[in-house]
A and B are shown apart, each in its own frame.
Chain A
């Protein structure tokens, strides 16, 4: 009985002192992300100035003013990659979105700075976006399941996914 109690107490102490399974931090450097997004070679960076209707559309999707006048992207044929910052609760999350042929190819969290909500980095969440396209009113054509305790981070990633699809469509149509 005493031995069981000791094992139980050690287990509880272990739970109490164990750090979280994941945490905020820099998960991917920009070049690592781009090498993964473009396995056959990273194209040169291009910049897109956000002006007029495009800026208005981006800000409508984000629900706030976009911080900056231009965004950087990488494009090779029908595939593009966007690295965008969006605030979850108080600090920006750096999110990489790869788009191929108008559908999301991958979503990666490059850096998460807040103490809560970092679960959005895991594939069980990011894989939900794969093959998502813009539907009516520039919303995603599928439902993204949330994560308990990470609602604001989930919303931020979802908004950035919509913006990346919109921007991809814009540069594709500009050809």
Chain B
């Protein structure tokens, strides 16, 4: 009697656990199904909703994206112009110049042109901040630029062993020995308000809604573990589908 009942009880217990597991897996995945469906629909209509043109600049979101602005590593001012280096991005008068520098060693306001010097090169801008030219002086210099100044409307660059002066067009640099006649730029930190404005400019407009949705959809917003979590959700959804088919077939067979 007992021997014929045990397998039946075992089977029904197994089915009960299977059904319970299916139900709990389904309930726990509801949030993800809604989450993936809503973000998927929004991404499908990204163009119509202009999601690639809408920007979010919430500080916590930008921090999550690693867009935490660095503090200025160097800043020089001369005659109403200020050059500041944030990370490797060069800012002139509060605007991102688009130029990258490993170091910032001085500025010289030369009337219509503004010269900003790194270690081996100088960048020229117009008085209103438009980029003119980057001049690679690496092969011309005997060492890295240490000081930048001006003498009249000429730029002056100083390395450990020589001093060079530019011509009027800032096209050529020639050795110069009247070092005491130069007005050297000195590193000064911008004030708090300027630093805040620079950090805001460094972050730019922020992250597009489309980017955020893509990263939410793929799980990348949650760093390296996010895609793995989404993979797990996808595997569970597949298992849920299979278990649903099995349960439905069992029920049909009983009927």
Q: Chain A residues in contact with chain B, CB under 8 A?
A: 29-32, 44-47, 67-72
- From A31, which residue of chain B is reached at the shortest CB distance? B139
Nearest residue, chain A, Cβ from B98: A67
Beta-carbon contact of A29 and B139 below 8 Å: yes
Q: Is the CB of A45 within 8 A of B172?
A: yes
The chain B residue with its CB closest to the CB of A94 is B136
Chain B residue nearest to A71 in the complex (CB): B133
Identify B133's interface contact among A29, A31, A72, CB under 8 A. Answer: A72
User: A residues within 8 A CB of B98?
Assistant: 67
Q: A30-B136, A68-B134, A71-B133 are in contact. List 14 more A-B contacts (CB 8 A).
A: A31-B139, A31-B140, A44-B172, A45-B171, A45-B172, A67-B131, A68-B132, A68-B133, A69-B126, A69-B132, A70-B132, A70-B133, A72-B133, A72-B171
Q: Mark B156-193, 1 if CB is under 8 A from A, else 0.
A: 00000000000001011000000000000000000000
Q: Please give the residue numbers on chain B whose beta carbons come within 8 Å of chain A beta carbons, in ascending order.
A: 98, 126, 130-136, 138-140, 169, 171-172
Complex interface: chain A residues within 8 A of B169 (CB) = 47
A-B contact count (CB 8 A): 32
Q: Which residue of B lies closest to A29 (CB)?
A: B139
When distances are taken between beta carbons in the complex, the residues of chain A under 8 Å from B135 are 72
Report A49 CB to chain B, min CB distance, Å: 9
Note all chain A residues with C-beta closer than 8 A to B134.
68
C-alpha gap A32/B135 in the complex (Å): 16
B139 touches A30 (CB 8 A): yes
* Beta-carbon nearest neighbor of A26 in chain B: B138
CA distance A45 to B171 in the complex (A): 7
Residues of B contacting A70 with CB < 8 Å?
Answer: 132-133
A31 proximity list for chain B (CB < 8 A): 139-140
Interface-central residue, B98, B131, B133, B135, by most chain A CB under 10 Å: B133
Question: How many angstroms from the CA of A77 to the CA of B180 in the assembled complex?
Answer: 39
**What separation, in Å, do the CA atoms of A45 and B139 have in the docked complex?**
14
> In this complex, what residue of B is CB-closest to A110?
B136
Contact B130 A29 (CB under 8 A): no
- In the bound assembly, the distance between CA atoms of A104 and B169 in angstroms comes to 28
Closest B residue to A70 by CB, please name it: B133
CA distance A69 to B134 in the complex (A): 10
A45→B140 CA distance, assembly (Å): 12
Residues of B within 8 A of A71 (CB): 133
A47/B138 in contact, CB under 8 A: no
Bound-complex Cα distance A68 to B134 (A): 8
